Structure formats: C-alpha cells, structure tokens
Amino acid sequence: MSFRAVLFDLDGTLLDTLEDIGRSANQALQEGGFPLHPIDSYRRFIGDGVAMLFQRALPPDAALDQVAVSTCVAAFGRFYGDGWNVATRLYPGIAGLLDALAARSIPTAVLSNKPDHFTRRCVSHHLADWPFAVVLGQREGTPRKPDPAGAHEIAEALGLDPAEILYLGDSSVDMTTANRAGMFAVGACWGFRGVEELRVHGAVATIAAPGELLRLLG
C-alpha cells in the first residue's frame, strides 16, 4: 500500500506522558478526598478525555456525580498545568521515525483527546523539530475520538482522502477512530494498552517499534 500522510495519536504513541498525567490526577483526587491509584493504573484510564479519566478513577458513587467529576477535572487542569513536563518524554525510536518521514516529505498530524491547549503545548515543546501540518486536541464543539470528526477535519486540511492516511495509535479509541474515519489503522504496541486490545478493535497492523512503520508506507 502507499500512504500520503501519517496521523498520530499523542499520549502513549508519540509521548510517554503516563507519570505526569497520573501524578496530576492523583493530586486532584487527593484534593477532593478520594482514594489514589498507582501510576500504572492510569494506563487503563487515559484515552477518552479528562472527564472520562475521572469517571474511571473515582469511586463508583462519585463517578456518577457530575459535580465531583467536574471538580476533579478542574483540579487536574491546575495540577497538570504546573507539572505537565516533569517526566514526559518521546518514546525511543520516535525521533528517528519523524526524521525519516520528514526526509520523505510525508505530511504528519496529531489528533488527541487531551485538551487542545495541553496537546499544543506538548507538541510545541517536545516535537518542535518536526513539521506537523495539523495539531488538534479536544475542543469545545468538536466530538472527541472515537468520533471521526477530528480525523476527517485533518484529512480535509491536508487535502487528502482519508484512505490515503495511515493512523498510528495505542488504544481501542484510536483503532475505532481510524476505522470510522476510513483510515488505515496501525496499533503502537509500546503504548498504554496491549496488542490484544488493538487487534480486537480493528488494528489492520500492529508494530512493536516506531521504525517498523516505514515498511507499511509503501
């Protein structure tokens, strides 16, 4: 196959943000008097936006309380705003992959369920060496993934048919988004979820290391 662009998820795909997100979420839970979680538990909570993160992290009764969820979301915004870049880093091999894509003049884009301002901050800080054509996070008025609206917006901005775009992500949300958008779904096995989840939710291919993406580009 031959693809004309690559669309990336952010957290768990390009950047390992687990520690900073988990620590900030625990600080928000602690401020609200709720139980905390081991950082590794946040692998299962991340991916569907901040509100859903807290619906998963809060005790069952509090998770149904919209006030409790909204309070935690607001607190998370404060704590993550202060600590978004304490431990966050590129995954090994990502820099080499992005160098190779840039050398081939293959356009790249980012679509995340992280709030848009945090998405742009992470990309501008950690990924400034590479020319991403479009960067979109979760925004008011645009449904979050797995709704394909954001992916279609990116395809339109790139002037491409969705079928010409390879979508790389690390979760069921990403695989579902890619398939609903009509893109080629590739699962990143180094991210927050496992290969089985990726395959069950529609990964056409899975890769164990970023450089393996190049053989799929044609």
Query: In DSSP terms, which residues pair with 168 in a beta bridge?
Result: 8, 186
Instruction: Find out whether 88 and 114 touch, Cβ atoms under 8 Å.
Output: no
Nearest to 47 by CA among 68, 73, 18, 67: 18
Query: Which is nearest to 169 in space by CA: 3, 6, 9?
Result: 9
Pairwise CA distance, residues 189 & 60, whole Å: 30
The yes-or-no answer on residue 61 being catalytic is no
Cβ atoms < 10 Å from Cβ of 217 = 17
Structural tokens at position 171: 């979760």
Choosing from 9, 11, 20, 174, which is the catalytic residue? 9
Residues with catalytic roles: 9
